[in-house]
Structure 1
């Protein structure tokens, strides 16, 4: 199964000059845990809700003065829409990330896939398998 079948295409993006306060507002309003930072729609970083806490709130930095570029994770790991879900989960494991921006053939942001998306997929598949087991089990 390709990542395209699981990825969310409604993804929040922002430019590196956006303030941390602005990013926090977007995350709350859109009910998301991250914003992908882009330059001409190519992903250059990501800011998560945890980044806001660790990089802004805890050290008491001014969220109106701190920008996305100041706090974003720059070692960005991405996957392609055509990559398989097993490849994506291995990438998450190997890079210790919970979110992967998904890019198209031009390396532009096309979506995002998260560990939560894979947990939901796995639970759906396990539910399907349990129905098969139940249907094939003899009555007691």
Structure 2
């Protein structure tokens, strides 16, 4: 069983500028086969943008995804963890804040993301969530 966030996180960061359009962010998510990107101004994390944010906070409201910025729809100032933090701390933060993903930050720089799927694969590899997390995407 993994003890630290670094043991379960998905390393690497995919980010967009705060002024990137939602179309740009969605195309990056599709190309990388991911459901979230960090919104970053240089090395500083401004927010986290998910595919659900785009759908619920913009498209469902009738906003034009070509003109709406990532920063205007993202969750600002996301809760973060460090690679050396215990996995239990990440789980507690996810529960406390009712979130599915946490950016992993080391020395002020984003280095990865830990998701519920990452935790499921590490903690309970036979669970349905772990199976879903490992599955290849549709289409």
Instruction: Please give the range of the TM-score, normalised by the shorter of the 2 chains.
Output: 0.7 to 0.9
- Distance in 2, matches of 1:68 and 1:99, equals 17
What's the counterpart of residue 115 of structure 2?
114
Structure 1: gaps spanning 5 or more residues: 127-140
Larger radius of gyration between Structure 1 and Structure 2: 1
- Distance in 1, matches of 2:44 and 2:77, equals 14
Secondary structure at 1:80's aligned position in 2?
coil
Q: For 1:35-78, what per-residue CA distance to the aligned partner results, in whole angstroms no more than 9, with x for missing partners?
A: 00112222110100100101121111111100011101014100
Q: Does structure 1 residue 68 correspond to structure 2 residue 70?
A: yes
What's the counterpart of residue 55 of structure 1?
57
Shift of 1:125: 8.2
What's the counterpart of residue 15 of structure 1?
17
Taking structure 1 as the reference length, the TM-score comes to 0.84
Structure 2: gaps spanning 5 or more residues: 128-139
Taking structure 2 as the reference length, the TM-score comes to 0.85
- Stretches (4+) displaced over 4 A: none
Shift of 1:123: 2.1
- May I ask how many residue pairs the two structures share in their alignment? 125
What's the counterpart of residue 91 of structure 1?
93
